[in-house]
Amino acid sequence: TESNQFCDAGIGHGESACGVSSSSSKILIKGGTVVNAHGEEVADVYVKDGIIVAVKPNIKVGDDVTVLDATGKFVMPGGIDPHTHLSFEFMGTETVDDFFNGQAAALAGGTTMHIDFVIPVSGSLTAGFEAYEKKAKKSCMDYGFHMAITKWDEVVSKEMEIMVKEKGINSFKFFLAYKGALMINDELLLEGFKKCKSLGALAMVHAENGDAVYEGQKRMIELGIFGPEGHALSRPSLLEGEATARAIRLAGFVNTPLYVVHVMSIDAMEEIATARRKGQRVIGEPVVSGLALDGSGVWDPDFVTAAKFVMSPPIRASGHDKALQAALSTGILQLVGTDHCSFNSTQKALGIDDFRNIPNGVNGIEERMHLVWDIMVESGQISVTDYVRITSTECARIFNIYPRKGAILPGSDADIIIFNPNSSFEITAKSHHSRSDTNVFEGRRGKGKVEVTIAGGRIVWENDELKVVPGSGKYVEMPPFTYLFNGIDKADAEYLSSLRAPVKRFKSTD
């Protein structure tokens, strides 16, 4: 390969930028502030063959190494998005972003891994897994899978075991909403929780009361409210609070850890706060739409604009956003996802006459890192180390892939971003990398910019240009019994011994 002095740019920009194809993959990131969840230091980072091999000051290398100057910038673990739906067949259509272009969008925004939800095919986990394996073949960044459980029988129970022991899945999502589609009842939820616990898999819930949502939808239709605002009105935060509380109590009854996805309201957040205060292991995941937006969007007089904000649970009224931010800053909520589930205007128009037919979902996979920086760090609510924790490290810990992911440490995967806090970002559908023609964060701008993304040791985003290769992303298997399970057995033993304590009774005699 050519050496850096022949490049037009002052700093080495990697062989690919010069059109030289390369499998050699040595990169030195010089002079940046390396940030991990546990601390920050000025250091160089040396990457070889997809792995971080050294993190220390003044690393000297030969001229076969691509050198990136990060002076004055933050060098951080690439983002991990715990919640996405790429190539998701839902509500009669399929999301526009697939495992290649959705991931490319992620990389342009500094996210280097995501965990997507495998949806069973007619209840079959095996068929669902195979379908998602196919969808993910073209991946250009690393990914993992959660799996949804949509029915219950002996086969599903056995398949859960196979998924955990052979397929690298350590989390299952239960939908308490979407009646008639993905929704399950409390009996199934309890069976699922018990099975999760026995396998060391993390139970996740979509917490809205689906029966009550159904009732709320009928109420709106009877009132003649057919537009996108009917979506929000039909499923108030009360119903999110109820389902969150129910899932928490049932997980507590089984004594298994619980992960509440897309926490959108104060109601749900307060339930999580209360449970955690009592010592229960509950993780709460807000998503960037819930943190960055208020619910006014669905009231827009333009249908296309209003419909793009339709997601479940709904984006709540102003006030919920600030409360979720505060909860994130104080550790009541632990990590940020996106629920990236992108539909274009034509697809959203399936519900032009009836909000119940608007495909549910918003974007975020490309915007998360910038918006969380802006909302949480620029605003002064959290430190840069906490930023790394909530966008990357905590996700890696919860899903048991730390420190391979979520850290800049020798031996970790080379998933790295160079972030310039003095630059700025701007979001618009005109230039985003999603295939959708709309963006719920349209027009947002703020300080800070992901200037370089390195994924699996390759420079994939630099100078506002993507260099992505289909098939270069790897499936990341996630082992069971994450840290959330530590000590669960001891609590169980204590509970059992308390039950077996002999009760002394006097025989009643005449």
360 binds, among ligand URP, Zn ion, none (CB under 5 to 8 A by kind): ligand URP
Q: Is 213 in the site for ligand URP (CB under 6 A)?
A: no
State the burial class of residue 39 (Cβ atoms within 10 Å of its Cβ: 0-12, 13-18, 19+): exposed
Q: Is 391 in the site for ligand URP (CB under 6 A)?
A: no
| Residues between 151 and 210 with contacts to ligand URP, criterion CB under 6 A | 206
Q: Which is nearer to Zn ion, 7 or 352 (CB)?
A: 7
Given the rule CB under 5 A, which of 3-11, 100-108, 370-378, 496-504 is the region that contacts Zn ion? 3-11
| Residues between 259 and 318 with contacts to ligand URP, criterion CB under 6 A | 262, 311-312
Long-range Cβ contact pairs of 343-349 (< 8 A, separation 24 or more): 343/93, 343/95, 343/96, 343/436, 344/96, 344/435, 344/436, 344/437, 344/438, 345/304, 345/307, 345/308, 345/437, 345/438, 347/93, 347/96, 348/304, 348/307, 348/308, 348/310, 348/438, 349/303, 349/304, 349/307
**CA–CA separation, 336 and 367 (whole Å):** 12
Q: Which is nearer to ligand URP, 179 or 194 (CB)?
A: 179
361 binds, among Zn ion, ligand URP, none (CB under 5 to 8 A by kind): ligand URP
| Residues between 15 and 54 with contacts to Zn ion, criterion CB under 5 A | 18
Given the rule CB under 5 A, which of 47-55, 204-212, 219-227, 405-413 is the region that contacts Zn ion? 204-212
Among 341, 376, 440, 468, binds ligand URP (CB under 6 A): 341
Q: Is 361 in the site for ligand URP (CB under 6 A)?
A: yes
Q: Which is nearer to Zn ion, 18 or 488 (CB)?
A: 18
**CA–CA separation, 406 and 112 (whole Å):** 10
Residue 455 phi/psi, 5° resolution?
Answer: -125, 125
Cβ proximity of 82 and 337 under 8 Å: yes
Q: Is 339 in the site for ligand URP (CB under 6 A)?
A: yes
Write the CA distances from 449 to 37, 86, 331, 368, integer angstroms.
19, 24, 25, 12
Q: Which is nearer to ligand URP, 289 or 482 (CB)?
A: 289
Cβ proximity of 37 and 79 under 8 Å: no
164 binds, among ligand URP, Zn ion, none (CB under 5 to 8 A by kind): none
311 binds, among Zn ion, ligand URP, none (CB under 5 to 8 A by kind): ligand URP
421 prior amide bond cis, ω within 30? no
CB of 335 to ligand URP, least distance (A): 16
Query: β-pairing, 89-90 with 93-94?
Result: antiparallel
Among 146, 206, 397, 432, binds Zn ion (CB under 5 A): 206
Among 13, 30, 73, 85, binds ligand URP (CB under 6 A): 85
CB of 317 to Zn ion, least distance (A): 20
CB of 222 to Zn ion, least distance (A): 26
CB of 462 to Zn ion, least distance (A): 11
Closest by CA position to 112, among listed 139, 78, 145, 89: 78
User: Taking CB positions, which residue lies at the least distance from ligand URP?
Assistant: 360
Cβ proximity of 456 and 473 under 8 Å: yes
Q: Is 458 in the site for Zn ion (CB under 5 A)?
A: no
Cβ proximity of 59 and 27 under 8 Å: no
Write the CA distances from 381 to 74, 289, 346, integer angstroms.
18, 18, 38
Contact mark string toward ligand URP, 87..126, x via CB under 6 A: ----------------------------------------
Cβ proximity of 479 and 139 under 8 Å: no
Displacement of CA 290 from its chain's centroid (Å): 13
Q: Which is nearer to ligand URP, 47 or 147 (CB)?
A: 147
CB of 342 to ligand URP, least distance (A): 10
Contact mark string toward Zn ion, 337..356, x via CB under 5 A: --x-----------------
221 binds, among Zn ion, ligand URP, none (CB under 5 to 8 A by kind): none
Closest by CA position to 16, among listed 391, 466, 506, 470: 466
Cβ proximity of 420 and 449 under 8 Å: yes
Would you call 120 helix, strand, or coil by DSSP? Answer: coil
Among 360, 420, 434, 453, binds ligand URP (CB under 6 A): 360
**CA-based angle 406:457:403, to the nearest 5?**
20
**CA–CA separation, 32 and 41 (whole Å):** 8
18 binds, among ligand URP, Zn ion, none (CB under 5 to 8 A by kind): Zn ion
Q: Which residues are near Zn ion by CB under 5 A?
A: 7, 18, 206, 339
- Interacting residues with ligand URP (CB under 6 A): 85, 206, 262, 311-312, 339, 341, 360-361
